[in-house]
Amino acid sequence: MGSSRRAGFVAAAKRIVFLGPPNSGKGTQAAGLAEELAIPAISTGDMLRQSVAEGSALGRRVEGVMARGELVDDDLMADVVRQRLAKPDAQKGFLLDGYPRTQAQAATLNGILEETGSVLDHTVLIDAPEDVLVARALGRGRVDDQEDVVRERLRLYREKTEPLNTYYDSQGLLRRIDGDQGVDEVAAAIRAAVGAAAE
């Protein structure tokens, strides 16, 4: 990719959400795309850990919830996201991985962006057949990656998060990517989808 194409691509796509089931490779692809676009790749876990590490009032709230073994609720997560997206490195754009997970969170994210006069540019969905996703998980050899556990994670994803696909598709933001390819092929498909959509 020449410098002029790269510059045009960087200018075209700034605020991106990555969606996809477990083992779809979205974490790897999100990191690569964020580096190419020179914007931060931000995961839910990263946001929570950073919030706690900063020792702010918000961080102490998050720390207390996590210390009790509870899930961070939507309202608290919204505060964490709002704080993270207000940081200087996210002003030129960002790539969110792991948030939003539900339509309620997606609506909240829209509201957070509206507060700053911005909107999402793209939502990238990486998907693959369930048997492929299960095989990838089992191939890692982790203790907690038993087939029944992996399939339950996928069931929960389909139930809770997959409806976001329709939500974002209805807004013209969804870019569907076939994740049943090599890493380089998936990365090229993402660049083409985001670049073409931005022109």
Are the C-beta atoms of residues 189 and 181 closer than 8 Å to each other? yes
Look up the pTM and report it.
0.86
Query: How many domains, in total, are found in the chain?
Result: 1
Question: Identity (one letter) of the amino acid at 178?
Answer: D
Model confidence over 173-191: pLDDT tens digits?
Answer: 999 999 999 999 999 999 9
Q: Binning pLDDT at 50, 70 and 90, where does residue 196 land?
A: very low
Q: Binning pLDDT at 50, 70 and 90, where does residue 141 land?
A: confident
Q: Binning pLDDT at 50, 70 and 90, where does residue 2 land?
A: very low
Residues 6+ apart with CB under 8 A from 48: 62, 66, 72, 80
- Sign of the CA dihedral running 103, 109, 112, 115: negative
In which order are the strands placed within the sheet that holds 15-19? 41-43, 94-97, 15-19, 122-127, 174-178
Is the pLDDT assigned to residue 115 strictly greater than 50?
yes
Rounded CA-CA distance 105/44 in Å is 12
Q: Cis check for the bond before 100: say yes or no (omega within 30 of 0).
A: yes
> 103 phi and psi, to 5 degrees?
-65, -35
Pairing of strands 94-97, 41-43: parallel
Average pLDDT, the chain: 89
- CA-nearest of 2, 92, 1 to 40 is 92
- Give the domain CATH number at 55: 3.40.50.300
Mapped onto helix, strand or coil, the DSSP state of residue 7 is helix
Alpha carbon distances (Å) from 107 to 47, 88, 102, 112, 137: 19, 23, 9, 9, 31
The range of the structural domain enclosing residue 89 comes to 3-198
Average pLDDT of the segment spanning 58-74: 92
For 53-73, give the DSSP string. HHT-HHHHHHHHHHHTTPPPP
The vertex-181 CA angle with 178 and 185, nearest 5°, equals 90
Residues 6+ apart with CB under 8 A from 124: 16, 17, 18, 19, 26, 29, 33, 175, 177, 190, 193, 194
Model confidence over 150-162: pLDDT tens digits?
Answer: 999 999 999 999 9
